[in-house]
Amino acid sequence: MSIYGDSFTWASGVGHDEAWGNLLSILLSCRVSNFGQPSYGTDQAFLRFELNMDDRARVVILGHLSSDIMRNVAQSYGFVSPAPMSGLRYKPRFILERGELKLIPIPYFPLEEVRHAILNPGKHLPYEYFVPGGDAGTLRLEFPYSWSMLKALLWNRQLRAVLERRPYSLDFYDEDHSSVALERTTKIIESFYVLAVERGKHPLVVIFPAPDDMQYFEKNGLWVYQSLIDSLNDKNIQSLNIGEKLLERYQGGDIDEIYIQEPKSKGHFNAEGNSLVADIIYEYMNEKGLLKNLDY
């Protein structure tokens, strides 16, 4: 068995022995190869699966974290998750042409153009949704700074989401959102599913909730990524909503207890959370009859 995705698939913040992929391997009594990569979007996870021709696993999981939908419309990590030096980290992404995926490779700049590319991203990243001055409302902090801050309060969508106490990713799951992120993410997952079947594998899509997704559901009774689940269902692609199963197990309890609280890995599942994820996936596989497809 093999698993693809981002840091929630890789299980950042816990040791290898506590990672849900390793715990699932113990439950299944078979190898589980972890191809997760922190900071990946669903697009990169799919690309890694597509290019991994040596993967002979019979069952393959694609993990999707709620915020991955934003990474799927970005070319630069710096605009999605600002961090030191992130402006120098670029990624590939897909666009849709006539309903089909077209790969836009990682941006490349000659050495003499790097500085200009960083200072003028709009001229060098034509497929970056979060480029300053674009639809996302991302703004560059400029003098006079008081005016820049006022503009951010008025136009920056991420800041407005924080002030309104809702996950920023919620907007991107709207089918009418200007990024068309829902349609593209659905197509990426569908392409993974179709390719896995073509390669004789049994695909499984697993959707992970961040802590604020859980809080939003408990308050509003709606999953941030419900539209994605519905879109996949329309294509006869079933997905496992980890959030739903976690709430069934934590009725009346504090769901934050299964997430890491320390700043370095905050928001990822802790050891207890990883154990629950492994149990949930194992039970789901058993329920769907996937266990018989594994080589023991």
The tens digit of pLDDT for each residue in 52-62 reads: 999 999 999 99
Q: At what angle do helices 181-198 and 42-51 cross, to 10 degrees?
A: 20
Residue 42 has pLDDT above 90, yes or no: yes
Which tokens sit at 115?
A: 């500085």
The confidence score (pLDDT) of residue 85 equals 46
Q: How far apart are CA 291 and CA 94, in angstroms?
A: 33
Q: Which percentage of the chain shows pLDDT scores above 90?
A: 68
Q: Which percentage of the chain shows pLDDT scores above 70?
A: 85
pLDDT-derived band of residue 146, with 50, 70 and 90 as boundaries? low
Mean pLDDT in the chain? 88
Q: How far is CA 79 from the centre of its chain?
A: 15
pLDDT-derived band of residue 284, with 50, 70 and 90 as boundaries? very high
* Residue 211 included in any domain: yes
Number of H helices, E strands in the chain: 14, 7
The confidence score (pLDDT) of residue 45 equals 98
Classified as helix, coil or strand, 4 is strand
Question: What average pLDDT does the segment 260-285 reach?
Answer: 94
pLDDT-derived band of residue 84, with 50, 70 and 90 as boundaries? very low
**DSSP 8-state code for residue 128:** -
Residue-wise pLDDT tens digits, 195-209: 999 999 999 999 999
* AA identity, residue 232: L
Taking the alpha carbons at both ends of the chain, their separation in whole angstroms is 10
pTM over 0.85: yes
Q: How many separate domains does the chain show? A: 1
Range of the domain at 91: 2-117+167-293
* Residue 29 included in any domain: yes
Residue-wise pLDDT tens digits, 106-134: 998 888 888 888 888 888 899 999 887 66
- CATH number of the CATH domain containing 224: 3.40.50.1110
* Residue 153 included in any domain: no
**DSSP 8-state code for residue 202:** E
Q: Which of 42-46, 150-154, 217-221 has the lowest mean pLDDT?
A: 150-154
* Residue 63 included in any domain: yes
* Residue 133 included in any domain: no
Task: Please answer whether residues 46 and 184 qualify as being in contact, where contact means their C-beta atoms are separated by less than 8 angstroms.
Answer: no
Q: How far apart are CA 190 and CA 101, in angstroms?
A: 11
Q: How far apart are CA 246 and CA 233, in angstroms?
A: 21
Residue 145 has pLDDT above 60, yes or no: no
* Residue 123 included in any domain: no
Q: How deeply is 121 buried, as exposed, middle or buried, from its count of CB atoms within 10 A (0-12, 13-18, 19+)?
A: buried
Q: Between 11 and 147, where is the model more confident?
A: 11
* Residue 138 included in any domain: no
Q: How far apart are CA 69 and CA 285, in angstroms?
A: 25
Task: Please answer whether residues 276 and 253 qualify as being in contact, where contact means their C-beta atoms are separated by less than 8 angstroms.
Answer: no
* Residue 73 included in any domain: yes
Q: Between 108 and 295, where is the model more confident?
A: 108
* Cα within 13 Å of Cα(230), Cβ side: 10
Nearest Cα neighbor of 207 from 43, 45, 9, 33 is: 9
The confidence score (pLDDT) of residue 293 equals 73
